[in-house]
Amino acid sequence: MKNLAVFCSGNGSNFQAILDAVRRGKLKAHVALMVCDNPKAYALERAKKAQIPVVLLSPKLFTNRQDYEKIIVRILKSQAVDLIVLAGFMRIFTPYFIGAYRNKMVNIHPSYLPAFKGAHAIRDAFEAKVKETGVTVHWVTVKVDAGQPILQKRVKISKQDTLDSLEKKIHRVEHQIYPLAIQKVLSA
């Protein structure tokens, strides 16, 4: 069984979808730990409830990004983590970290990449008044939101949609495709 480390900064609904998929046997993996950079993240509650070990590390405690990342790499190695799953982790890694987990780190992004890269993809698509957006699961590379897609799904934006309803639609699709994409990677 492969060991996953899921990284979160906020709500953790994708983390929850992964835990649920593992519990239902749809995703054959072991969630070894959750890494979090935000003490206020609701994802921490989810981990506690599911009894998943947490590494809560604030980058503010470190003088530079690489020192922060070095500790994380050391922990991941000690836990024999096979795949890093970024699930709403809102921080950009240095080439050092990405090099340490080359071809072993995936991310979910709330748009049909390469459209709407960046931290506000849902809002950007809504404000651009496009007819559709989507969700992408992709490999993480040094270039942000530019790694090879693993799975993508389009999401229509209807005239009735508000930003809130669009967010809900996107999250529903994320929860559906992230476990599938992870299983695809693990079975390859």
Q: Are 89 and 9 in contact (CB under 8 A)?
A: yes
What's the closest the beta carbon of residue 63 comes to ligand GAR, in angstroms?
A: 26
Q: Which of 82/109 has CB closer to ligand GAR? A: 109
- Helix-helix angle 13-23:163-187, to 10 degrees: 40
Residue 11 binds ligand GAR, judged by CB under 6 A: yes
Among 8, 85, 100, 173, binds ligand GAR (CB under 6 A): 8
- Separation between Cα atoms, residue 127 and residue 65, nearest integer Å: 33
What's the closest the beta carbon of residue 119 comes to ligand GAR, in angstroms?
A: 6
Among 5, 29, 47, 121, binds ligand GAR (CB under 6 A): 121
3-state SS, residue 72: helix
Q: Which of 12/69 has CB closer to ligand GAR? A: 12
> CB neighbours of 159 closer than 8 A, spacing ≥ 6?
none
Residue in 187, 180, 184, 186 with CA at minimum distance from that of residue 20: 180
Residue 13 binds ligand GAR, judged by CB under 6 A: yes
Q: Which of 1/90 has CB closer to ligand GAR? A: 90
| CA within 13 Å, CB half, 176 | 12
Residue labelled with tokens 């922060």: 68
Q: Which of 45/67 has CB closer to ligand GAR? A: 45
- Whether 171 is catalytic is no
Contacting positions for ligand GAR (CB under 6 A): 8, 10-14, 87-88, 108-110, 119, 121, 171, 174
